[in-house]
Amino acid sequence: MVEDLAERERQTQADAARMVGTNLRTVVLGTGCGTLVLLFGPRLVVSLFSALGLPVKRGDVTWLIITAVVLYGIARLLPALGIAAVHAFIWAKARGVSARVARDPGLAALIVPPSSGQLALLKKVVGHGRAVQRILLRLVVALVVATAVVWVAVLAARQSPGASGWVPGLTLFFAVVVLVLLIALSGRLRRWRVARHVRTWSENPALSANLSSIGPDEDGRRATLVPDLTVVFAEPRWQMRMRGAGPVSATRNVLNRAPLKIAYLRLFDNQARTRDFLRGAWREVGYVHLLRSAASVSPAELREARRTGGLGTMFVTSPRVFRQRLVDRPATPLGPGAHRLGAVTDLPLKVHDPHGSYPVRSVLCHGSFWRMAVDLLLARVDLTVLDLSGYQPGNTGTQFELQRVVDRIPVGQAVLLCDSRSDRLFLEAQIRHHWAQMAANSPNSGAGSRRIKVWVTDTMFDYSGPLKRSQRFGDDRRCLSRWMVADVLGLAR
């Protein structure tokens, strides 16, 4: 697997070099041909027209040919030069990676996949900063269009008195559009500022946690006997309907079993996947535990913290407070119907639970404590879900979580997720890389072989759009996640 990644990087380098050569040849040949046309073209055209008995001025022909050559250069040579520059950068980057891998073959598992732009795609549909940029762009466009349309209407009214009635109507319409955009911009801008403040405080050394021995293993000992690993990418059955699904109660979940404690680990930036996860059947199966991101803090929470002078108490910085926060969370199941979940994603999340659900238990941890919080959380849950969608080697937090899942959770109690855009070759190399570094006290160590299943979800639809909000898609999402849980529990058939 590592050799496959290294070979793919070498192939990327060769493909980039080939593209650079092809486009540079196009530029050189095009420039040469254009130069010849400029030097000899006017004379040939004048000679041809003279032979046909048609009068033509050399100056007119010269400017016509110059214009044609310039347009050709803009249409063909400049794009080719730009493509050559882009692929030259790709070649240089791939060459640097290959050189590092040649010096240290173990780094091959950390090669960024070609589809590394996937996380950027996910950030485009989520996040306060992105939303502010989109709204500002729409506001500018609306103002430009409004100015142009109203100006045309005013000119038309001056020419025809009967058209004057359009001016106030168009002005009112665009005023309403701009007002709506300004309200949306104000709300998102407030949440963006709150998220920036909270993120800054979460890195404040004055609020740092007093770490204890509960954290990661200090000796760094690795397992002497690491079993063979089989990684399987599976796609759940979208149209499957679970039998025996019943209403959620304090003692029975939707699968007619005792409610589970579920830990959900993911990239903090991946808010879109977090919303999709919480709209699934996971909350119908048990209590979902997750660590909050700074983007999930609302302006009301920040005002309350400032009013009470407890900015430091917003964050969990000790095991005792962490356990207390989990105990203080509501335990009474939610009834069937629509609900609004707060303090879990960047915006309040609207969900529909036909069978009822269990409350989400989210905790906001200080940056110095979240690793310990992961360990504490993994020790308290029955099922761990790790979402690797958008994962890159630079996501050190997810790297840590993947290693802790390998070190502390039996493979039968872990669910790994990815999406249809994920690079499966890269993810498998990452899983094997961390599997090889298994801790000595890992429940997965020993003889024999193990099997990890990575569920590929969101294969039919994108992260946004009307279909994602449709009732049919919601039913399919619930059935999909219900099937995954049933498979882990051995109930699927």
**DSSP classification of residue 293:** P
Residues near 132 by beta carbon (within 8 Å), at least 6 away in sequence: 185, 188, 189, 192
How many Cα atoms sit within 13 Å of 348 on the Cβ side?
Answer: 10
- SS in 3 state form for 179-229? HHHHHHHHHHHHHHHHHHHHHHHHCCHHHCCCCCCCCCCCCCCECCCCCEE
Give the count of beta carbons closer than 10 Å to the beta carbon of residue 292. 19
**Distance between start and end Cα atoms, the chain:** 32
Give the count of beta carbons closer than 10 Å to the beta carbon of residue 336. 14
Give, for 339, the enclosing helix (H) or strand (E): strand 337-341
Give the pLDDT confidence score for residue 460 in this predicted structure.
46
> Which residue has tokens 């002078």?
309
Token pair, residue 356, equals 């009822």
Q: What is the pLDDT along the chain (493 residues), one digit of tens a residue?
A: 656 677 777 788 888 888 989 999 988 988 888 888 888 877 787 787 777 776 767 776 787 778 888 888 888 888 888 889 988 888 887 787 777 777 776 666 666 655 444 555 555 445 677 778 888 888 888 888 888 888 877 777 777 666 566 777 778 888 888 899 899 888 888 888 888 878 787 777 776 766 554 545 555 678 888 899 999 998 766 545 555 567 889 899 988 889 999 999 988 777 778 888 888 889 999 999 999 888 888 888 888 877 776 666 788 888 888 888 888 888 899 989 888 888 888 788 888 888 899 999 999 888 888 889 999 999 999 999 999 988 877 788 888 999 999 999 998 889 999 888 788 888 888 898 889 889 888 999 888 889 999 998 865 454 555 545 555 566 777 777 777 887 777 766 5
CA 467 to chain centre: 19
Give the pLDDT confidence score for residue 378 in this predicted structure.
93
3-state secondary structure of 478: helix
Q: Which amino acid is at 419?
A: D
pTM above 0.85, yes or no: no
For strands 337-341 and 349-353, give the pairing: antiparallel
- Closest-CA residue to 445 (of 436, 454, 453): 436
Rounded Cα distance, 477 and 474, in Å: 5
Contact 263, 382 (CB under 8 A): no
- Closest-CA residue to 350 (of 456, 193, 468): 468
Identify the burial level of 174 via C-beta atoms within 10 angstroms of its C-beta, where 0-12 means exposed, 13-18 middle and 19 or more buried: middle
Token pair, residue 261, equals 């404690």
Give the pLDDT confidence score for residue 121 in this predicted structure.
53
Rounded Cα distance, 192 and 333, in Å: 32
Token pair, residue 201, equals 């405080």
| Dihedral, 155, 158, 163, 168 alpha carbons, nearest 10 | 70
Torsional sign, CA 292, 362, 420, 432 = positive
Characterize 39-59 residue by residue with b for buried, 16 or more Cβ atoms within 10 angstroms of its Cβ, and e for exposed.
eebbeebbeeeeeeeeeeeee
Residues near 68 by beta carbon (within 8 Å), at least 6 away in sequence: none
Token pair, residue 395, equals 């996501």
Q: Which amino acid is at 470?
A: S
